Amino acid sequence: MVARVRRVVAAAREPREAVRAAVEAVHESSDRYDWTGVYLLEEDETLVLSHYVGEPTPHERIPLGRGICGAAAREKQTLVVPDVGADPRYLSCDLSTRSEIVVPIMKDGVVLGEIDIDSHAPDAFGPADRQELEQIAALLAERFAGREVSH
Ligand code: SME
């Protein structure tokens, strides 16, 4: 999966296209991924949904510190939530969602955005998912480095 994403990210003409291609390749890589999206951080305070595959979400803009997404960006670390119903930070997008992973996209300690994946299966995300998605986040961070990313 990582090799495929590396190819599509490298082939993209600009960062926004790289995000779209990466989201689609990641989504297709597992039946457990029911909603896959990338949020980009704007003005250091709001996560704005860039591209996604899955049902439309009411949470297209998430302030830092809100939701699992905001917490991951603020804490600058991957968050794996095996049971979203048991996490008070969770912002619901789809009643079918049972578990979630959020992986920050960071360059030199600065959060640029994040990869967010929801699953209808409980506890769907293991160490292998986390490791692969952190590699994808690093690829995207490289692609963004030194550029403005427009929506
Ligand atoms: N569940 C997220 C909100 C985004 S949706 O998953 C698409 C959260 O708690 O931050």
Indicate whether 151 belongs to any domain.
Answer: no
pLDDT given for residue 149 in this prediction: 52
Does 32 sit in the ligand 1 pocket, CB within 6 Å? no
pLDDT digits (tens, 9 = 90+) for 82-104: 999 999 999 998 999 999 999 99
The domain that holds 97 is classified in CATH as 3.30.450.40
Which residue's C-alpha comes closest to atom 3 of ligand 1? Answer: 91
Q: Distance from the CA of 59 to the center of ligand 1, in angstroms? A: 7
Q: How many domains does the chain have?
A: 1
Q: Consecutive sets of 10 residues in the chain, 151 residues long: mean pLDDT of each?
A: 94 94 97 98 94 96 95 97 97 94 96 98 98 97 69 49
Indicate whether 150 belongs to any domain.
Answer: no
Contact 119, 99 (CB under 8 A): yes
Which are the contacts of 13, defined by CB distance < 8 A and separation ≥ 6?
A: none
Angle between helices 15-28 and 127-144 (to 10 degrees): 170
Q: Distance from the CA of 43 to the center of ligand 1, in angstroms? A: 20
